[in-house]
Amino acid sequence: MKRSKTMEFGVGLFMLVGILGLVFLGLRVSGMTLSAPSDTFRVEASFSNIGGLKPRARVTMAGVTVGRVEAIELDPEWYDARVVLRLNSDLEGQLSRDTTAAILTAGLLGEQYIGLSIGGDPDVLQDGDIIRDTQSALVLEELIQQFISNMVSN
């Protein structure tokens, strides 16, 4: 009798550790963290098509995460997607005004994120500024549709 209770306790402990491991893995894959956000500043960018970009997606420069997507909304005037970015405060005053924001895809799961490329303008972006030079997401369905229509027309 004592052995079965010990075994039941061991199996229960093993299951608990497994479930906690899955929760940790899920948080890492989704990009969510339990830590409080550090000092940040806000910039906006408009895209004609954001594909599958979601809030809390990474914002990177040279492959290094420098911020997160805070919000995505439809611009009622131009009917573009307005994306609000929260960037690390140490970049404030460092990004040139002609910085480019592009929606990129990474990994086997197709996670979409924003990649920033610095320009050469001496003027810099400040809190609340807008990134004007953007590149929309590459949508695979549109590429396939163009390929098929080109095949049919030839």
Percent over 90 (pLDDT), the chain: 58
Region 70-79: mean pLDDT is 94
Model confidence band, residue 39 (pLDDT cutoffs 50, 70, 90): confident
Q: What's the mean per-residue pLDDT of the chain? A: 88
Number of neighbouring beta carbons within 10 Å of residue 50: 23
Q: Which residues of 22-38 are buried (b: 16+ CB within 10 A; e: fewer)?
A: eeeeeeeeeeeeeeeee
Backbone φ/ψ region at 128: left (φ over 0), alpha (ψ -120 to 50), beta: left
- Tell me how many degrees the CA angle 116-94-36 measures, rounded to the nearest 5: 75
What's the whole-model pTM score? 0.73
Region 82-88: mean pLDDT is 96
